[in-house]
Structure 1
Amino acid sequence: MARGPSAHQRRLLGSALVAACLLSSSAAHAEFDRRSLILLGRSVLRIEAEGAGGRLQLGSGVVIAKERVVTNCHVTRNASSISVVQAGARWSVQSQSVDTERDLCVLQVPGLPNPPVTLGRAASLREGQELAALGYTGGPALQISGGSVVALHHWGGHLVIQCSNGFTSGASGGGLFDRDGNLVGILTFRLPGGRTHYYAVPAEWLADSTELRMRFGQVRPHDGLSFWQRPVTAQPLFLQAATLERAEQWDDLLHLADRWAREDGADPEPLYLRALAYEHLGRDAAAVQSWQRSLDVDPGYSRSWARLAQLYHRTGLASQAQQAIESLTALNPGLALEVSDRLRADPSEPSQESARQ
């Protein structure tokens, strides 16, 4: 039976959240107001999804409306019962709405007193913007991870967020927030490849849900794979490209990017990826042209400015490299600083030749 928190439990909740904030990264503290993070933490819960044989799948969830919590469907896939937990208080989930493709399950939790967050929009973000991720990473305590937007990937009419806010599987279903405390994404999956390969699905997928999509039913195991769990060839193009990039399959990446660019001329990402493939294939002039074309599509596409700066530096075009850094600084100061430091630390003397053909 659902149990509301006692006064003592509420005091424990406040203490637990303060402790979590004190343990969180300094980057998050530097950019976000600590009190705001503590208040947001009241709306991020631990999910315990119990399946056959008592096997427990742990995750996170965010309160998005009265007595409604969103989490990832891969957290609840095998569950025959689900509880939401915070600071010793526990509530039972009565029913859930399943959107397997988007990996979003909304849980109905009678008696849950925790306040809902404010829904934001992934479309409001820009590369380099500071974010805070809240979820139950690595244990029973809420953790806060500071980071920023690495890339915004077009898919399904919205933007899937790639960020540097590190999280593990226990944070799946947790919240990604902007500095105003708006929920802009739901922490969902990560890929191999370093500190920038963390992904959140957009909050717009919650805001635009129709009553047809939001049908609640009995808590029970459900089938199907989400967009990121499908075989590679059935995944969105940006994930297929990430797989090819990690494997350094540059010819295949070039072919995929060419096809993608023909299909969607309004997206700068395939042009960026085509340039990346060209550079690794030793075709610097073609890479420069393709990065410049991506900036014609979106002058604010900071990843292209960053790669151009590095290529110009390597090929001895110092003034062009400086101009690219200046453009990048206006868009994404953090990335500009990172690239500048990398170029200053480069021990090799760039050649005085212009870009290779």
Structure 2
Amino acid sequence: MKKDYLIPISIFLSAILVSCVIVYVTNNDEKPFSGNDAMASAVEIICGEGINEVTGTGFIIDHNGPIVISNSHVVVTNGVVNENIFAVFYNSEEKYPLSVISFDEALDIAVLKFDNAIKTNVFIFGESGRLSYGQNVYAIGNSMGYGLSLSKGIISVPLINVKYSGNERLMIQVDIGLNRGGSGGPLLDEGGKVIGMMTFRLNGGDYLVQGMSYAIPSDVIQKYLDSL
């Protein structure tokens, strides 16, 4: 009997390589999507060191100061927060220490803060409840731990019930490939607003499955933030 498996995308790798100022760089309706602006508001997330190192992705928003949003499975293992969590910006090797503020393993959402004051760009949220079939979207991810990259695709299903980690939840299905290390990356609309967070892809066991990746809707993330 064929079995389908849903795979969270973080990766174990050997070693990889004043005041707070917030810069809003998200595009308005009259400005075309800027990949460069988007890349400046996302980060690689690195946990641990050496053979125990885990990598993922996060994105920065303003919530009474800059915070990083990612998947809990990137920074938490069996209910315990991973040690030595760092953010790395695009085209940089400098590591910025992070601390976990809150996480929910059932929702697979984690909220982190920078340990030190930082000048940074931020995303703003879009409305995940107003998405359309075939809508153009973009995703940023630290694929295979090789650093941040930008991908383009479409929304395959605006909202779909998917069973993941024993819980059924509403997700956004996209045709963008999601590789290991890409968990926690932002899913963006053509205005550069965050409409979701890339979380897992479908793995068909013995069958090669392509173009079936899932993102947590931004409305779910905002509701979680409002509850803190």
- Establish whether TM, by shorter chain, passes 0.5: yes
CA contact (8 A) 1:60 1:136 kept: yes
Deviation at 1:140, TM superposition (A): 3.0
Deviation at 1:167, TM superposition (A): 1.8
CA distance in structure 2 between the aligned counterparts of 1:189 and 1:158, rounded to whole angstroms: 13
Q: Of 40, 55, 59, which aligns to 1:58?
A: 55
Give 2:76's aligned residue: 77
Q: Give the root-mean-square deviation of aligned CA atoms.
A: 2.5
Give 2:180's aligned residue: 169
CA contact (8 A) 2:101 2:111 kept: yes
Superposition pairs of residues 104-183 of structure 1, within 5 angstroms: 104-109=109-114, 110-151=116-157, 152-154=159-161, 159-183=170-194
CA distance in structure 2 between the aligned counterparts of 1:173 and 1:90, rounded to whole angstroms: 18
Q: Of 27, 37, 40, which aligns to 1:39?
A: 37
Larger radius of gyration: 1
Higher share of residues assigned helix = 1
Q: Cα distance 1:210–1:135, how it changes in 2: closer, same or farther (>3 A)? A: closer
CA offset digits 1:174-197 (Å, max 9, x no partner): 010000111000000001252221
CA distance in structure 1 between the aligned counterparts of 2:35 and 2:107, rounded to whole angstroms: 27
Identify the structure with bigger relative contact order (alpha carbons < 8 Å, sequence gap 6+): 2
CA contact (8 A) 2:145 2:180 kept: no
Aligned partner of residue 128 in structure 1, secondary structure: coil
Sequence identity, in percent? 27
Aligned partner of residue 111 in structure 1, secondary structure: coil
Superposition pairs of residues 172-251 of structure 1, within 5 angstroms: 172-193=183-204, 194-209=209-224, 213-214=227-228
CA distance in structure 1 between the aligned counterparts of 2:66 and 2:212, rounded to whole angstroms: 32
Q: Cα distance 1:90–1:64, how it changes in 2: closer, same or farther (>3 A)? A: same
Give 1:248's aligned residue: none
CA distance in structure 2 between the aligned counterparts of 1:122 and 1:158, rounded to whole angstroms: 14
Q: Cα distance 1:47–1:102, how it changes in 2: closer, same or farther (>3 A)? A: same
CA distance in structure 2 between the aligned counterparts of 1:93 and 1:64, rounded to whole angstroms: 14
CA offset digits 1:315-351 (Å, max 9, x no partner): xxxxxxxxxxxxxxxxxxxxxxxxxxxxxxxxxxxxx
CA contact (8 A) 1:154 1:160 kept: yes
CA offset digits 1:67-126 (Å, max 9, x no partner): 300011111113122100121222111333111111010101132322210101211111
Deviation at 1:169, TM superposition (A): 1.8
**Ranges in structure 2 where 5+ consecutive residues have no aligned partner:** 1-17, 19-30
Q: Cα distance 1:208–1:141, how it changes in 2: closer, same or farther (>3 A)? A: same
Which TM-score applies when normalising by structure 2? 0.72
Q: Cα distance 1:157–1:203, how it changes in 2: closer, same or farther (>3 A)? A: farther
Deviation at 1:154, TM superposition (A): 4.7
CA offset digits 1:232-262 (Å, max 9, x no partner): xxxxxxxxxxxxxxxxxxxxxxxxxxxxxxx
Tell me if 1:102 matches 2:107.
Answer: yes
- Flag as ranges the 4+ runs of structure 1 deviating above 6 A: 155-158
**Ranges in structure 1 where 5+ consecutive residues have no aligned partner:** 5-31, 215-357
Which TM-score applies when normalising by structure 1? 0.47
